[in-house]
């Protein structure tokens, strides 16, 4: 379905209103509170906000089997005050304008327009403006949805990313905050005492000396993303910490990396006090129906290619789909808008592409409704 000019103008206005509302992962309250009355005013009287701050609404089908359609409301930006929005002839500029407000807004309007048509689909369509997709949000939103509706969900679509992308394989990851503590002391008079920085850097060197598992078609990586610690130039560091992760599309490789990381942590524990906190746990796929995955991916490729001006590609990714995929539920992430700079303050979106996003979402959902 192509958006009329009236719908396009409505999407633009809604996007500009929504995107400035701050919504860091875990603090989506304000965006959720904005969306709920809007959905109710559109006739989704049973829309509600769950305990994970997801906004949920439905188009009832003939059965209670569910097709889940989601777009996330959280941003990577910690801002708790309105986000800065700029506009020119062609584009909108704002942190989070594409990722994922650029998918959420067309999905909202698409759900309303599809309800208006009055078709009663076979499956029930559960829509989610979900929380905590980004970073340390750790997929809390989608995990809660899968916990509540999991065994009823047949397939899941996450609308997220630009129109040239489809994510149809899950990159799992484990993320840790590791803190080293030692007695420390004066750098001159206590010389020889263990330094937390020394212990931490030894761990980092061992991580970077790891060989990742090599398996055809699978990719495994690791990273130490941040380090901090120490007191001053003349103090033996009493504490130092890092955020580190490993990722893989393969379950066995994730288990292997876990073992190697913990060998390193355990080795360091012989020299200092080590505190390990799991701050991220994103599962990878657990054998979902390959035939269904191919059907969904091919349909998305066909629809997105119709509107994208450049070739559409499939990738493995770390998205909301990780959660249904890990439960054996076929799930793909469908990109919708034209823009760039996701996760940066320079992010932009091409205004006209809201029409393409709307078409991609309605056509994907219509295909599911008619199956
Ligand atoms: Zn996103």
Q: How many domains does the chain have?
A: 2
CA distances from 363 to 273, 300, 359 (A): 56, 9, 6
Q: What's the pLDDT score for residue 182? A: 98
Buried/exposed code over 170-208 (b: 16+ C-beta within 10 A; e: otherwise): bbbbbbbbbbbbbebbebeeeeeebbbbbbbbbbeebbe
Q: What's the pLDDT score for residue 217? A: 84
Task: Give 141 Cα–ligand 1 centroid separation in angstroms.
Answer: 13
CATH number of the domain that 205 lies in? 3.30.70.360
The helix/strand count (H/E) of the chain reads as 9, 18
Torsion of CA 108, 110, 111, 117, to 10 degrees: 150
Task: Give 104 Cα–ligand 1 centroid separation in angstroms.
Answer: 10
Q: Which of the two residues, 182 and 218, has the higher pLDDT score?
A: 182
**Distance (Å, whole) CA 352 – CA 339:** 11
Q: What's the pLDDT score for residue 320? A: 95
Q: What's the pLDDT score for residue 6? A: 96
pLDDT band at residue 362 using 50, 70 and 90 as cut-offs: very high
**Distance (Å, whole) CA 320 – CA 143:** 8
CATH number of the domain that 304 lies in? 3.40.630.10
Residues 17 and 155 in one domain: yes
Residues 10 and 137 in one domain: yes
Q: Do the beta carbons of residue 258 and residue 174 sit within 8 Å?
A: yes
Buried/exposed code over 34-44 (b: 16+ C-beta within 10 A; e: otherwise): bbbebbeebeb
Residues 337 and 268 in one domain: no
Task: Give 259 Cα–ligand 1 centroid separation in angstroms.
Answer: 30
| Residue 222 DSSP code | E
* DSSP output for 304-347: HHHH-SS--EEEEE-STTHHHHHTT--EEEE--B-EE-TTSTT-
Task: Give 325 Cα–ligand 1 centroid separation in angstroms.
Answer: 17
Work out the percent of the chain whose per-residue pLDDT is above 90. Answer: 90
What's the pTM value of the predicted model, to 2 decimals? 0.86
pLDDT at residue 186 is higher than 90: yes
pLDDT at residue 250 is higher than 80: yes
Residues 220 and 246 in one domain: yes
Question: Which of 252, 282, 312 lies at the terminal end of a domain, its last residue?
Answer: 282
Quick: pLDDT tens for 60-84: 999 999 999 999 999 999 999 999 9
| Residue 120 DSSP code | -
Q: Do the beta carbons of residue 134 and residue 25 sit within 8 Å?
A: yes
Task: Give 88 Cα–ligand 1 centroid separation in angstroms.
Answer: 24
Task: Give 72 Cα–ligand 1 centroid separation in angstroms.
Answer: 7
User: Structural domain of residue 140, as residue ranges?
Assistant: 5-170+284-369
Q: What's the pLDDT score for residue 16? A: 98
Residues 245 and 161 in one domain: no
Residues 76 and 27 in one domain: yes
Q: What is the mean pLDDT of the chain?
A: 96
Task: Give 203 Cα–ligand 1 centroid separation in angstroms.
Answer: 32
Q: Do the beta carbons of residue 168 and residue 180 sit within 8 Å?
A: no
Quick: pLDDT tens for 31-50: 999 999 999 999 999 999 99
Residues 262 and 336 in one domain: no
Task: Give 133 Cα–ligand 1 centroid separation in angstroms.
Answer: 7
Q: What's the pLDDT score for residue 163? A: 98
Q: What's the pLDDT score for residue 282? A: 86
Task: Give 321 Cα–ligand 1 centroid separation in angstroms.
Answer: 11
Residues 147 and 180 in one domain: no
Task: Give 99 Cα–ligand 1 centroid separation in angstroms.
Answer: 5
Task: Give 275 Cα–ligand 1 centroid separation in angstroms.
Answer: 31
Task: Give 135 Cα–ligand 1 centroid separation in angstroms.
Answer: 10
Task: Give 61 Cα–ligand 1 centroid separation in angstroms.
Answer: 28
Quick: pLDDT tens for 83-132: 999 999 999 999 999 999 999 999 999 999 999 998 889 999 999 999 99
Residues 221 and 114 in one domain: no
Quick: pLDDT tens for 329-345: 999 999 999 999 999 99
Residues 278 and 291 in one domain: no
Residues 313 and 354 in one domain: yes
pLDDT band at residue 245 using 50, 70 and 90 as cut-offs: very high
Place of tokens 């495994």: 220
Task: Give 181 Cα–ligand 1 centroid separation in angstroms.
Answer: 36
Residues 66 and 123 in one domain: yes
Task: Give 132 Cα–ligand 1 centroid separation in angstroms.
Answer: 10
Question: Which of 251, 282, 313 lies at the terminal end of a domain, its last residue?
Answer: 282
Quick: pLDDT tens for 251-305: 899 999 999 999 999 999 999 999 999 999 888 887 779 999 999 999 999 999 9
Task: Give 83 Cα–ligand 1 centroid separation in angstroms.
Answer: 17
Phi/psi of residue 269, each to 5°? -65, -15
**Distance (Å, whole) CA 258 – CA 360:** 39
Torsion of CA 354, 356, 358, 359, to 10 degrees: 170
Q: How many CA atoms lie within 13 A of 205 on its CB side?
A: 8
Which among 282, 356, 95 is positioned nearest to 364, based on CA atoms? 356
pLDDT band at residue 137 using 50, 70 and 90 as cut-offs: confident
Residue 222 burial class via C-beta count within 10 angstroms: exposed 0-12, middle 13-18, buried 19 and up: middle
Task: Give 134 Cα–ligand 1 centroid separation in angstroms.
Answer: 7
Question: Which of 240, 267, 282 lies at the terminal end of a domain, its last residue?
Answer: 282
């Amino acid at each position: 379905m192509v958006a009329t000019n009236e719908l396009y103008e409505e999407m633009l206005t809604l996007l500009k209103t929504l995107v400035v509302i701050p919504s860091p992962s875990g603090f989506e309250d304000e965006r959720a509170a904005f969306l709920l009355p809007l959905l109710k005013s559109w006739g989704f009287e049973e829309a509600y906000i769950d305990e994970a701050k997801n906004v949920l609404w439905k188009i009832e089908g003939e059965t209670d089997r569910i097709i889940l359609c989601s777009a996330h409301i959280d941003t990577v930006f910690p801002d708790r005050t309105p986000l800065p929005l700029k506009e020119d002839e062609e584009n909108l500029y704002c942190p989070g304008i594409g990722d994922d407000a650029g998918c959420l807004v067309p999905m909202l309007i698409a759900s309303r327009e599809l309800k208006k048509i009055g078709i009663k689909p076979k499956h029930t369509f559960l829509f989610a403006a979900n929380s905590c997709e980004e970073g340390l949000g750790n997929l809390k939103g989608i995990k809660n949805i899968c916990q509540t509706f999991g065994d009823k969900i047949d397939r899941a679509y996450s609308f997220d990313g630009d129109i040239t992308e489809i994510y149809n394989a899950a990159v799992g990851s484990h993320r840790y905050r590791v803190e080293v503590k030692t007695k420390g002391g004066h750098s001159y008079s206590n010389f020889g005492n263990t330094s937390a920085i020394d212990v931490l850097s030894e761990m980092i060197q061992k991580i970077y000396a790891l060989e990742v598992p090599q398996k055809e078609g699978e990719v495994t990586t690791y990273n130490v993303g941040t380090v901090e610690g120490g007191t001053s130039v003349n103090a033996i560091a009493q504490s130092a910490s890092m955020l580190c992760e490993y990722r893989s599309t393969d379950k066995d490789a994730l288990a292997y990396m876990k073992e190697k990381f913990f060998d390193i942590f355990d080795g360091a524990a012989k020299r200092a006090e080590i505190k390990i906190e799991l701050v991220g746990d994103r599962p990878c796929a657990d054998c979902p129906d390959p035939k269904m995955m191919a059907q969904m991916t091919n349909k998305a490729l066909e629809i997105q290619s119709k509107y994208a001006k450049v070739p559409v590609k499939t990738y493995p990714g770390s998205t909301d789909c990780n959660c249904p995929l890990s439960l054996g539920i076929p799930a793909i992430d469908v990109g919708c808008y034209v823009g760039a700079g996701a996760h940066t303050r320079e992010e932009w979106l091409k205004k006209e592409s809201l029409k393409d996003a709307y078409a991609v979402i309605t056509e994907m959902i219509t295909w599911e409704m008619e199956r």
